[in-house]
Structure 1
Amino acid sequence: MAHHHHHHGHGEDAPGSDVDWAEMAEPLEAQAELFAPLYTQVLTWLGEQVAEPALIVDAGSGPGVVSCRLARTFPGARVLAVDAAAPLLERAGQRAAGLGLADRFGTLAGELPSVLAESDGPVDLLWAARSLHHIGDQGAALIAFADRLAPGGTLALMEGGLPARYLPRDLGLGRPGLQSRLDGAQAAWFARMRAGLPGSVAGCEDWPALLAAAGLKHTGTRTFLLDLPAPASEQARAYVATSLSWLREACAEEIDTEDLTVLDRLLDPDDEAGVHRRPDVFVLAAHTVYTAVRPA
């Protein structure tokens, strides 16, 4: 399971009525901008596979950072940012206008996958980055995604990868191996989140097989690396602090008392051992993208 937390993005993380998406927009944008080197690699790869799309849909777009990158990668395409959170789509529209993309950029508010039926015509490239796993029946959602594709159209699905790493194995406080234990806590949270989704269907997350079951031809799998070595920038430190804060809050029942104490120190901006100050903080993340084409 990929490293995963609430602030990743609507469409990339747990949707819910209790989330103030207007307040979340800024950290979501900051994270997407931090991951720019990874998205550059992904879009270069997609650009080699997808020939001059007319319509691109970003399914679960959040505030539209990647939507705008898609528009710049494919300058002949119209881009539709789709998300359930209207405040994030408003930010996406503002970002597109600021970049001079407004004439070929639109937004569509609604829940995936049903809202895709409202998209304007067949889709040449459907990008879904960590939005699928927040839909109860992932197989049915992939069929709905496939139905929106034009003949020869491509679905690019970002799911899986590896848990992110920020800290050395031995922090010099607490027991070594904190991040490995946090992975376990997060996996338990993820399983609860999936089980609690409406219409949740458990199944093997063999993405090529699921894509084939949706009537698509699996055309490629590639994992992309974000490697931001220590000493981390302030932007990277802020991302690490936000990530660990989310884990501290969402997964507290899965984390033992000693590790919670260490997390509190790591999150204290005045503690020399905390992530805001320590010199050994880094960001290393691996995200996997699967592509598949609707037969012509």
Structure 2
Amino acid sequence: MATMLETQAELFEPLYERALAWLSGLRADPGLVVDAGSGPGVLSGMLAAVFPGARIVAADGSAPLLERAAARADRLGHADRFDTIVGDLPGSLDRLEYPADLIWASRSVHHLGDQRAALASFAERLAPGGTLAVMEGGLPARFLPRDLGFGRAGIEARMDAVEQTWFGRMREELPGSVAEAEDWPAMMAAAGLRPTGSRTFLLDLPAPVSDEARAHVATSLSRARDIFGADLDATDTATLDRLLDPDDPESVHRRPDLYVLAAHTVHTAVRAG
């Protein structure tokens, strides 16, 4: 998973660059920036570049991922102002030495059972005037033409429906899971913060794609096949198998019409000063 998470984040760097540029206009010169749910630290490194005067803390539940994050920070020349905290969110942030000016949580809050409580916990760890930025929601990624020339047209839409069912089960099985209307500004307001805006950022990699983008599509579809492919009907399963077969001329390894289109939304809120 570490390599997959790292290469995916690197592919999405153009999207993240635009999101962080927007965020830097809202939150100038923070002293302490926390990447909550940092994974291998691609975003942590980008935060260090966008906020060159800030101390960066990458927080994650995986020690091996944080080792990669620290190594990346060292390669990028940020090691002197880069720290890590290993442990489950949000409680691990109790170990921060002082309140944060910016907490960035990129697609990590939905892995926590009680999302509203997690936002409240993040809010408590902000300095007065500090900003919480949560990247959640957006639109499902698209890689393929509607009609592939084989199988039934529209397989990605049907995969979306199956994935949403799987995602709901995943959320229900999380410790302390609480069903919640995912109105992120409303949840941030309930956590005692003042919402300051939401904005969606696009990644648009048209055909023909790079080898890195092609590998990302193959990995994404392969994981989908493994995780919830059994919930697809036989025709769609057979279509997925063809798409993933490197020897098939219609596979994602060879198709000239492959692309990557994704949209991620960032929600921001501020703690009262």
**TM class by shorter-chain length?**
over 0.9
Alignment of 1:265-284 (within 5 A): 265-284=242-261
Render the CA deviation track for 1:30-49: whole Å, top value 9, x for unaligned.
11110010011001001100
Partners in 1 of 2:29 and 2:190 — Cα distance? 27
Partner residue, 2:87? 110
Partner residue, 2:159? 182
Partners in 1 of 2:255 and 2:97 — Cα distance? 50
From 77, 86, 96, give the equivalent of 2:54.
77
Letter in 1 for 2:86: A
Tell me by how many angstroms 1:119 deviates: 1.3
Partner residue, 1:219? 196
SS of aligned partner of 1:144: helix
Partner residue, 2:70? 93
Partners in 2 of 1:117 and 1:169 — Cα distance? 48
Partner residue, 1:294? 271
SS of aligned partner of 1:159: strand
Partners in 2 of 1:114 and 1:168 — Cα distance? 43
Partners in 1 of 2:169 and 2:220 — Cα distance? 19
Partners in 1 of 2:101 and 2:209 — Cα distance? 38
Partners in 2 of 1:190 and 1:37 — Cα distance? 27
Render the CA deviation track for 1:229-284: whole Å, top value 9, x for unaligned.
01111100100011101110111232111100000010011111000100000000
Do residues 240 (structure 1) and 187 (structure 2) align?
no
Letter in 2 for 1:131: S
* Alpha-carbon contact 1:167-1:281 (below 8 Å) kept: yes
SS of aligned partner of 1:292: strand
From 169, 172, 193, give the equivalent of 2:146.
169
Do residues 31 (structure 1) and 8 (structure 2) align?
yes
SS of aligned partner of 2:140: strand
Letter in 2 for 1:55: L
SS of aligned partner of 1:92: helix
Partners in 2 of 1:61 and 1:203 — Cα distance? 24
Partners in 1 of 2:127 and 2:262 — Cα distance? 32
SS of aligned partner of 2:137: coil
Aligned length: 273
Do residues 43 (structure 1) and 20 (structure 2) align?
yes
Partners in 1 of 2:97 and 2:261 — Cα distance? 38
Identical pairs, percent = 64
Unaligned runs of 5+ in 2: none
Do residues 130 (structure 1) and 132 (structure 2) align?
no
Tell me by how many angstroms 1:28 deviates: 1.2
SS of aligned partner of 1:161: strand
SS of aligned partner of 2:202: strand
SS of aligned partner of 1:100: coil
Letter in 2 for 1:259: D
Render the CA deviation track for 1:211-238: whole Å, top value 9, x for unaligned.
0000000001000000000111110010
Render the CA deviation track for 1:70-103: whole Å, top value 9, x for unaligned.
0010000000000000000000000000111000
From 124, 127, 130, give the equivalent of 1:153.
130
Partners in 2 of 1:257 and 1:277 — Cα distance? 23
From 212, 230, 250, give the equivalent of 2:227.
250
Unaligned runs of 5+ in 1: 1-23
TM-score by length of 2: 0.99
Do residues 54 (structure 1) and 1 (structure 2) align?
no
From 40, 53, 74, give the equivalent of 1:63.
40
Partner residue, 2:120? 143
TM-score by length of 1: 0.91
